[in-house]
Amino acid sequence: MSKLFLVPTPIGNLEDMTLRAIRILKEVDVVLAEDTRTSGKLLKHFEIQTRMQAYHMFNEHQLVKGIINRISGGETMALISDAGTPAISDPGFLLVRECIKNNIEVECLPGATAFVPALVNSGLPSDKFFFEGFLPHKKGRQTRLKELSQMPYTIVFYESPHRLLKTLTQLIEHFGADRPASVSRELSKLHEENARGTLEELLHHYQSKTVKGEIVLVVGQG
């Protein structure tokens, strides 16, 4: 029976690739990849020779109908992002929604995603948390920060290295300098770092450093 698989890929350390993920990627007819160059290296490492097709935020609306028709016609496909679990701040939601509308089976494999180890590593309460992902870059950013500052939960953000200082500064303005927080970067890689402290302490810490790597920022309750 044809279906769509969502297959998590390592966020850094290739040893985090599961045996099941490797098997599925070898068995499907097509691998839909966010960046075929990046995914090509991964597939080559695990000796996966399945044909790839580019599927990303800039072409998903144009491709989704054709992909649905192909799966309905008997093809089995796997969707992967550059790193982590598809549809978590990456393409995937649109395709999953359309598959469900068309009675196509969807199966998501468990596996790597950046925010879970960052949340657990933070030492902040994780029984209830809110995943915000990336903040708006410009329009609505201040309004959104004000709304989030009132939430009684640990909040998880994704951030890029060149916006980290700006975001920490704005969080201090809206959440307060003493709010506990954690910054995780380069998760599962050789130079993994988990820095913990108040928002003000973290701002001072990163003002004197060159920040590299994708970042997960976890902010505790007020």
Look up residue 140 and give its amino acid.
G
Task: Output DSSP code: residue 42.
Answer: H
CA 62 – CA 31 distance, rounded (Å)? 17
Cα atoms in the 13 Å half-sphere on the side-chain side of 60: 19
Q: Does residue 136 share a domain with residue 73?
A: no
Q: How many Cβ atoms from other residues are within 10 Å of residue 18's Cβ?
A: 16
pLDDT value for 207:
95
Q: Does residue 75 share a domain with residue 37?
A: yes
Antiparallel, parallel or unpaired: β 51-54 and 30-33: parallel
CATH number for the domain harbouring residue 130: 3.30.950.10
pLDDT value for 40:
97
Q: Does residue 75 share a domain with residue 35?
A: yes
From residue 13, alpha-carbon distances to 136, 148, 188 in Å are: 29, 32, 5
- Looking at 54, 84, 108, the residue that finishes a domain is 108
CA 180 – CA 115 distance, rounded (Å)? 17
Task: Output DSSP code: residue 74.
Answer: T
CA 202 – CA 206 distance, rounded (Å)? 6
Q: Does residue 119 share a domain with residue 94?
A: no
CATH number for the domain harbouring residue 43: 3.40.1010.10
Q: Which two tokens stand for residue 55?
A: 């599927």
Q: For residue 165, give the 3-state DSSP assignment.
A: helix
Q: Which domain holds residue 130?
A: 115-219
Q: Does residue 29 share a domain with residue 82?
A: yes
Asked if residues 55 and 79 have their Cβ atoms less than 8 Å apart, the reply is yes
pLDDT value for 222:
76
pLDDT above 70: percentage of residues in the chain:
100
Q: Does residue 102 share a domain with residue 44?
A: yes
CA 116 – CA 69 distance, rounded (Å)? 34
Q: Does residue 70 share a domain with residue 22?
A: yes
Q: Does residue 102 share a domain with residue 14?
A: yes
Cα atoms in the 13 Å half-sphere on the side-chain side of 131: 11
Q: For residue 89, give the 3-state DSSP assignment.
A: coil
Q: Does residue 7 share a domain with residue 104?
A: yes
Q: Does residue 125 share a domain with residue 99?
A: no
Antiparallel, parallel or unpaired: β 77-80 and 30-33: parallel
- Looking at 69, 93, 108, the residue that finishes a domain is 108
Asked if residues 136 and 158 have their Cβ atoms less than 8 Å apart, the reply is no
pLDDT tens per residue across span 14-47: 999 999 999 999 999 999 999 999 999 999 999 9
Q: Does residue 121 share a domain with residue 102?
A: no
pLDDT above 90: percentage of residues in the chain:
95
Integer-rounded Cα Rg, in Å, for the chain is 19
Q: For residue 191, give the 3-state DSSP assignment.
A: coil
pLDDT band at 177 (very low <50, low <70, confident <90, very high): very high
Q: Count how many domains the chain has.
A: 2
Q: Does residue 167 share a domain with residue 89?
A: no
- Looking at 108, 127, 154, the residue that finishes a domain is 108
Q: Is the pLDDT of residue 148 over 80?
A: yes
Mean pLDDT (whole number) for 149-178:
97
